[in-house]
Amino acid sequence: ELQRHGFSSSWIGMITMPSGLMQCLLSQWAGRVAGSVKNRERILLYTPTLLGFSLLFIGVVAKSMAFLSTVDPSIRSISSSTLLVPILSTLVVSSAALGAADAPAMSMMADLAAAQGLGYGQALTASEMAINAGLAMGPSLAALALSANWNYFEISLVGAVCALLAALCSSYALRDVQHAAGAT
Q: How confident is the model at residue 57 (pLDDT cuts 50, 70, 90)?
A: very high
Q: How confident is the model at residue 10 (pLDDT cuts 50, 70, 90)?
A: confident
Counting every residue, how long is the chain? 184
Do residues 70 and 140 touch, judged by C-beta distance below 8 A?
Answer: no
Give per-residue pLDDT as tens, 117-167.
Answer: 888 888 888 878 887 887 788 778 877 887 888 887 888 898 899 999 989
Closest residue by Cα to residue 170 from 97, 115, 78, 91: 97
- Is the pLDDT at 22 greater than 70? The verdict is yes
Q: How confident is the model at residue 54 (pLDDT cuts 50, 70, 90)?
A: very high
Give per-residue pLDDT as tens, 58-106.
Answer: 988 888 877 766 666 665 555 556 677 888 888 899 999 989 988 888 8
Mark out the alpha helices in the chain (DSSP H runs): 9-15, 17-33, 37-71, 73-76, 79-115, 120-147, 152-173
Do residues 158 and 145 touch, judged by C-beta distance below 8 A?
Answer: yes
- The secondary structure of 66-94 as a DSSP string is HHHHHH-HHHHTTHHHHHHHHHHHHHHHH
CA 162/CA 83 separation, integer angstroms: 22
* pLDDT (0 to 100) of residue 164: 94
- Is the pLDDT at 56 greater than 90? The verdict is yes
Do residues 55 and 130 touch, judged by C-beta distance below 8 A?
Answer: no
> Cα 15 to the chain's mean position, in Å?
16
The residue among 7 and 126 whose pLDDT is bigger is: 126
- Is the pLDDT at 35 greater than 70? The verdict is yes
* pLDDT (0 to 100) of residue 150: 82
CA 173/CA 182 separation, integer angstroms: 21
- Is the pLDDT at 20 greater than 90? The verdict is no
